[in-house]
Amino acid sequence: MWWQPFPNLSQLSAALGGLSGVPELEVETLRPVNLVQERNLLPPGPWSRTFRCTLTSIPQTQALLNKARLPLGLLLHPFRDLQQLPVITSNTIVRCRTCRTYINPFVTFLDQRRWKCNLCYRVNDVPDEFMYNPVTRSYGEPHRRPEVQNSTVEFIASSDYMLRPPQPAVYLFVLDVSHNAVESGYLKYFCDSLLENLDKLPGNGRCRVGFLTFDSTIHFYNLQNGLSQPQMLVVSDIHDVFIPSHDNLMVNLKESKELVKELLAALPSMFAHTRESQSALGPALQAAFKLMTPTGGRVSVFQTQLPTLGAGLLQSREDPNQRSSTKAVQHLGPATDFYKKLALDCSGQQIGVDLFLLSSQYSDLSSLACMSKFSAGSVFYYPSFHHVHNPAQLEKFQRDLERYLTRKIGFEAVMRIRCTKGLSIHTFHGNLFVRSTDMLSLANVNPDSAFAVQMSIEDSLADSSLACFQAALLYTSSKGKRRIRVHTLCLPVVTQLSEVYAGADVQAITCLLANMAIDRSVSSGLPDARDALVNAVVDLVGAYRTSVSNLQQNGLVLPSAMRLFPLYILALLKQKALRTGTSTRLDERVFAMCQFKTEPLPQLMRLMHPDLYRLDTISDQGALHLNDVIVPQPQLLHLSSERLSRDGTFLLDCGSVLFVWVGRACSDVFLRDVLGVHDYASLPPSMNHIPELDTPLSERIRAFLDWLQENRAFSCPLHVIRYFRLPTTHYVIRFLSSPYIKQTNKNIVSFNQSSVVHRL
């Protein structure tokens, strides 16, 4: 776990008891920042990508937190792909007898036989087995065990953590085969991708698969080993759905692989000439629920239009004439509770539902997304999808689907978050079901999903110098092993407001506020959510100027750690999820909201504040060595036009799209070795890929681009753009000096144009 600058490092060091691996850090003092003069504004690092708190110095009381006008919360990425994860096999998992906290690096060993819990302060005995260290193969050193040396560990769970035998990896694919779906062409590419990745599906010999297609009727497929070919079973009564057979519809993949391959090869042609335009998605989901109830597992739904038949049918609620309205955006909430109720039933049976929406027209994603939201699933959206007319979306669909089919997965998962006495959990954000005040039910868990937690301080933390948080994720691996992944975070408790501001994590604060704003836009309306974000900046500035009296002076004064906060909020207000006055399709807006609720913090920050790199000077210095591949790591540049130069080539990573900007005076060597053209004049005006050339520079850049996209749920299209004349004028963000802000809080000092400047 990496540490940020803490105001009370001596206190923290004493509490850690001399643990190795904690870097020496200096306290960052608070000072006013002239954003015109100081251009290097990248946030400090490195940060933990797994477990972050909005405040790295915890206020001692709720009153102090209220005075700071900053939110307290956690951002978790609990199932993130990790290169080095300590996995512990032990007959005894050491936990506190009172609060059930797992032993971690921040407990205190009173002696070799007793340890003190860092959450409830209970003194516990050290089990005899814990006296042996499997790493050093020595006795009598419990403080050197892996559990006490690493803030993230994974335990192999015993039978005590099982209510039933671990479930196998079970996958059900629910496919829209109406005329609209067949015409879009997705079915062929889905079948091709699944055929190609069939052997890569997570799971072992117990892996089971099934298929269900639907239009105005529901089609099941008997894939029992021994049949000469797959058998289609049609259920036409969509008002009283039943399962024609429970034994042969979900089959062992290893035993029935040839029949599965035959079905995938035949599916596109089976419905190639259909004229059925209706979609009975609701009944198909009901059938999927009944089929998966005995085991649980993952349901992958592919839908291309508005559901028009049976339970859960929907009608168009979007008015295209109102897309650019600056007034309240309508229909951000679901039109029916059918999908939410069914999702909760699925969650209770350990069934997660992932939705792929490939639609050229409005499909009411705000209603359909409830299936994934409350069953811990994922939502993928491809607007205007067509295999011929929109090749960019087709390529994105293929890349996303490949990662989706092969990425790691956990089944029948629950996650509990514990914290120091005096702290309490207020609200959870993400695709989940809240089972109790501190426990989440996650039917499926994947490495691309993240969660946010709002917290409050119920009782004073005066008796503690440290505040600790622990997230424990209990899940079944795809190979049928029960595992517990434990993350622990420990932060100092402070009594001074200046120390709270010094330890603020501006990126985590922005992402937590984004989650809160999404919820507020659904419950109270988009204008109210936007006002709340603006007021968050106004309140911070007002509180800081009022409370930190020694820094009062003319112009904008913000804590050094928060100097990018106004810029981030402005960028957030311009996102599809929250923007107004721009034509935004309702489904696209809702999907953007889903992204903010589920994606990890680094990806969300790229959407708001893109990453900028220089490519033409890329080298192997400081490169990563991953799977025998050298991945260069170019320096991250401040996002400003003054970093661009006519003799260079730069990469702008916007989270959802990559832009390669080629300067007019870029060297011919780079153009030839990387882009495959002789000179700048030969560069085509439209180029959507980096060619595979057998040159060292080309290999470096392609390795870096592949690495950037390797662990993202949504792949990014790439565009190579030619040099254009850079603007000579600074674009001044007169965010806090706008008349709207002045009317909101007239007591805030007026700002000049040099207050917050960002050059585009």
* Helix, strand, or coil (residue 530): helix
- What's the first-to-final CA gap in the chain, in angstroms? 35
Distance of CA 682 to the CA centre of its chain: 40
Distance of CA 574 to the CA centre of its chain: 20
Distance of CA 609 to the CA centre of its chain: 16
Q: Are 53 and 470 in contact (CB under 8 A)?
A: no
Q: Are 223 and 230 in contact (CB under 8 A)?
A: yes
pLDDT digits (tens, 9 = 90+) for 157-206: 888 888 788 999 999 999 999 999 999 999 999 999 999 999 999 998 89
CA distances from 170 to 163, 191, 211 (A): 18, 18, 11
Nearest to 314 by CA among 285, 274, 291: 285
Give dist(CA 58, CA 504) in Å, integer.
9
pLDDT for the residue numbered 666: 92
Written as six digits, the tokens of 400 are 């996303």
Written as six digits, the tokens of 165 are 């035998």
Query: Which secondary structure element, helix H or strand E, spans residue 470, and what is its range?
Result: strand 466-477
Give dist(CA 330, CA 712) in Å, integer.
31
Residue 378: burial class (beta carbons within 10 Å; 0-12, 13-18, 19+): buried
Nearest to 108 by CA among 137, 148, 138, 81: 148
pLDDT for the residue numbered 685: 83
pLDDT digits (tens, 9 = 90+) for 374-409: 999 999 999 999 999 999 999 999 999 999 999 999
* Helix, strand, or coil (residue 643): helix
Burial 264-299 (b: 16+ CB within 10 A, else e): beebbebbeeeebebbbbbbbbbbbbebbbebbbbb
Compute, in degrees rounded to 10, the torsion defined by CA atoms 36, 37, 39, 44.
-110
| β-pairing verdict for 58-59 and 423-429 | unpaired
Per the listing, tokens 């079970």 go with: 170
Strands of 223-349 (E only): list them.
231-235, 251-252, 297-303
Q: Is the pTM of this model over 0.85?
A: yes
Nearest to 718 by CA among 759, 679, 675: 675
Residue 731: burial class (beta carbons within 10 Å; 0-12, 13-18, 19+): exposed
Residues of the chain with pLDDT under 70: 1-47, 326, 549-557, 724-760
Give dist(CA 218, CA 216) in Å, integer.
7
pLDDT for the residue numbered 11: 35
Domains of the chain in sequence order = 87-150 (2.30.30.380), 170-313+333-406 (3.40.50.410), 610-722 (3.40.20.10)
Per the listing, tokens 């015109």 go with: 36
The residue type found at 285 is L
